């Protein structure tokens, strides 16, 4: 299999494959924007007789996990011309991508799957779902007075960044957004309206990116740092009641909007979204902030990972009282009754915070002694997963 890294000269062939596979046509303006972003991504392709047959992109990101920024490789743009399918080329590209991300110290990877089952075969696992709402205007939260005020219009990127960062750090799996991502992926077409809530002291405590069109209030992002900001933003939305018939938005899976409504019978949908995969068990766990303990904890993990052989084997995990972890692969004979058996998908789901060890054991996704599972349960902090972005 001839796998090569694409260069600027391959831009047109790469875009042609993307447009065909994902069934869209770029305007010249958007094409030039893609050309700019092309240079910042690692794009790998499979070639046959000098022609590009399949490709994938590795986008360098950082993601928040328990308040820390982890290097993350975002897999995107996976595509194959139909005449080259069923040759195992995508499998080869994914294996190559794992090797590249491991070499680049990107210890975790995210992707948006066309098929969850397909990417599970290669070690990715669901790590987030979100709640999608459709709220008729008659069901909107009651309007409430707040001491601050809503400022509509462009508040400036610095204010949006500050509020977003404070919010995003509260979740696992949100992106650390740099200016380029804000300008080219969040605030792209200029059609979204902006509103920010300033508290009584003039500090931004929330913002709204939205569009009002055809009597619908479509929310792209709704972010609030406290209850006061939540009430103020929803009052601002409700003040459009003469202009709109419904509001649409997405929120974290645990969101309690319906509970707080006088009439909670609104349309809600839980949507499975992105998948994650630990690229390097050693790199990821070494920087992972475990929960503080009353005494040090030692856990043996027998990890199964067919596509990243550097993760295979028995690892000794040591968690200090302050939550700092050290991990190494052990060559010693480890007793089975002292070892937790786990594949890379289950390990990812647990450490991302999407699923707890106790429930994974109940589902038969991990196997080991009850006391080892309990120890792991106590060492992994609880934090919800969420992602506002798409790539």
What is the residue-wise DSSP string for 88-121? Answer: SHHHHHHHHHHHHHHHTT--EEEE--S-HHHHHT
User: What's the rounded Cα separation, in Å, for the pair 249 and 222?
Assistant: 8
Residue 335 in this model has a pLDDT that exceeds 90 = no
Give 67's contacts (C-beta < 8 A, 6+ positions apart): 169, 289
Residues 337-372 have pLDDT tens digits of 789 999 999 999 999 999 999 999 999 999 999 999
With tokens 């987030």, the residue in question is 128
User: What's the rounded Cα separation, in Å, for the pair 311 and 303?
Assistant: 7
Length of the chain: 391
Pair 352, 385: CB distance under 8 Å: yes
User: What's the rounded Cα separation, in Å, for the pair 349 and 365?
Assistant: 10
pLDDT of residue 388: 98
Which residues share a beta bridge with 129?
Answer: 272
With tokens 């200090």, the residue in question is 320
Superfamily of the domain at 280-379? SCP2 sterol-binding domain (3.30.1050.10)
pLDDT of residue 65: 98
User: What's the rounded Cα separation, in Å, for the pair 168 and 179?
Assistant: 15
pLDDT of residue 356: 98
Regarding predicted confidence, which is higher, 331 or 221?
A: 221
C-alpha distance from residue 56 to each of 218, 269, 272 (Å):
32, 30, 22
Region 9-29: mean pLDDT is 94
Pair 107, 71: CB distance under 8 Å: yes
- Output phi, psi for 293, to 5 deg: -125, 155
What angle (nearest 5°) sits at the alpha carbon of residue 156, between those of residues 155 and 160? Answer: 80
Region 145-173: mean pLDDT is 97
The answer to whether the 2-106 and 131-269 domains have the same CATH topology is: yes
How confident is residue 32, by pLDDT bands cut at 50, 70 and 90?
Answer: confident
Pair 15, 52: CB distance under 8 Å: no
Measured from the Cβ of residue 322, the count of other Cβ atoms closer than 10 Å reads 11
Residues 285-321 have pLDDT tens digits of 999 999 999 999 999 999 999 999 999 999 999 999 9
pLDDT of residue 367: 97
Angle, helices 11-22 vs 28-38, to 10°: value is 120
Residues 78-135 have pLDDT tens digits of 999 999 999 999 999 999 999 999 999 999 999 999 999 999 999 999 999 999 999 9
The token duo for 315 is 């690892």
User: What's the rounded Cα separation, in Å, for the pair 279 and 347?
Assistant: 11
pLDDT of residue 265: 96
Region 150-168: mean pLDDT is 97
pTM equals: 0.94
pLDDT > 90 fraction of the chain, expressed in percent and rounded: 92
Which residues share a beta bridge with 45?
Answer: 4, 55
Residues 40-69 have pLDDT tens digits of 889 999 999 999 999 999 999 999 999 999
- Residue range 131-269 in CATH 3.90.320.10: no
pLDDT of residue 192: 87
Chain centroid to CA 372 = 29
Residues 180-201 have pLDDT tens digits of 999 989 998 666 899 999 999 9
User: What's the rounded Cα separation, in Å, for the pair 324 and 287?
Assistant: 8
pLDDT of residue 190: 67
Q: What is the mean pLDDT of the chain?
A: 96
- Locate all alpha helices (DSSP H) within the chain, ordered by sequence: 11-22, 28-38, 89-103, 116-120, 157-168, 179-181, 227-238, 281-286, 344-352, 357-362, 370-379
2-106 CATH fold: Aminopeptidase (3.40.630)
Region 25-36: mean pLDDT is 87
Please provide the DSSP assignment of 20-53 as one string. HHHT----HHHHHHHHHHHTTSEEEEEEETTEEE
What angle (nearest 5°) sits at the alpha carbon of residue 276, between those of residues 186 and 93? Answer: 95
Q: Hey, CA dihedral for 175, 177, 183, 186, is it positive or negative?
A: positive
pLDDT of residue 215: 97
**N-to-C CA span, the chain:** 27
Instruction: Kindly report which listed range (138-142, 249-253, 331-335) carries the lowest average pLDDT score.
Output: 331-335
pLDDT of residue 34: 87
- Domain segments of the chain: what residues? 2-106, 131-269, 280-379
């Amino acid at each position: 299999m001839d796998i090569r890294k694409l260069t600027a000269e391959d831009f047109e062939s790469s875009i042609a494959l993307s447009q065909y596979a994902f069934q869209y046509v770029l305007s010249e303006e958007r094409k030039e924007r893609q050309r700019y972003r092309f240079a910042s991504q690692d794009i790998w392709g499979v070639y046959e007789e000098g022609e590009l047959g399949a490709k994938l992109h590795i986008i360098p990101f950082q993601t928040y996990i328990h308040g820390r920024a982890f290097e993350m490789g975002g897999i995107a743009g996976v595509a194959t011309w139909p005449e080259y399918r069923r040759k195992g080329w995508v499998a080869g590209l994914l294996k190559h991508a794992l090797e590249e991300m491991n070499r680049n110290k990107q210890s975790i990877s995210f992707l948006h799957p066309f098929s969850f089952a397909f990417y599970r075969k290669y070690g990715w696992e669901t790590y987030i779902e979100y709640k999608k709402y459709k709220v008729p205007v008659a069901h909107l939260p009651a309007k409430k007075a707040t001491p601050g005020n809503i400022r509509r219009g462009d508040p400036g990127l610095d204010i949006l960044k500050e509020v977003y960062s404070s919010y995003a750090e509260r979740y696992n799996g949100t992106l650390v957004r740099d200016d380029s991502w804000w300008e080219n992926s969040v605030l792209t077409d200029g059609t979204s309206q902006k509103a920010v809530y300033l508290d009584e002291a003039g500090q931004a405590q929330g913002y709204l990116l939205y569009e009002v069109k055809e009597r619908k209030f479509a929310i792209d992002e709704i972010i609030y740092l406290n209850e006061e900001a939540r009430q103020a933003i929803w009052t601002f939305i409700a003040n459009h009641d003469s202009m709109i018939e419904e509001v649409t938005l997405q929120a974290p899976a645990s969101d309690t909007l319906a509970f707080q409504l006088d009439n909670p019978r609104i349309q809600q949908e839980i949507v499975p979204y992105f998948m994650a995969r630990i690229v390097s068990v050693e790199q990821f766990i070494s920087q992972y902030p475990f929960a503080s303990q009353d005494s040090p904890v030692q856990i043996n993990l027998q990890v199964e990972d067919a596509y990243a052989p550097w993760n295979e084997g028995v690892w000794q995990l040591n968690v200090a009282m302050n939550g700092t972890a050290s991990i190494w692969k052990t060559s010693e004979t480890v007793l089975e009754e002292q070892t937790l058996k786990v594949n890379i998908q289950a390990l990812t789901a647990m450490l991302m915070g999407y699923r707890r060890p106790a429930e994974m054991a109940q589902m038969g996704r991990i196997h080991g002694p009850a006391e080892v599972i309990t120890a792991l349960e106590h060492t992994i902090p609880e934090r919800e997963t969420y992602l506002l972005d798409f790539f």
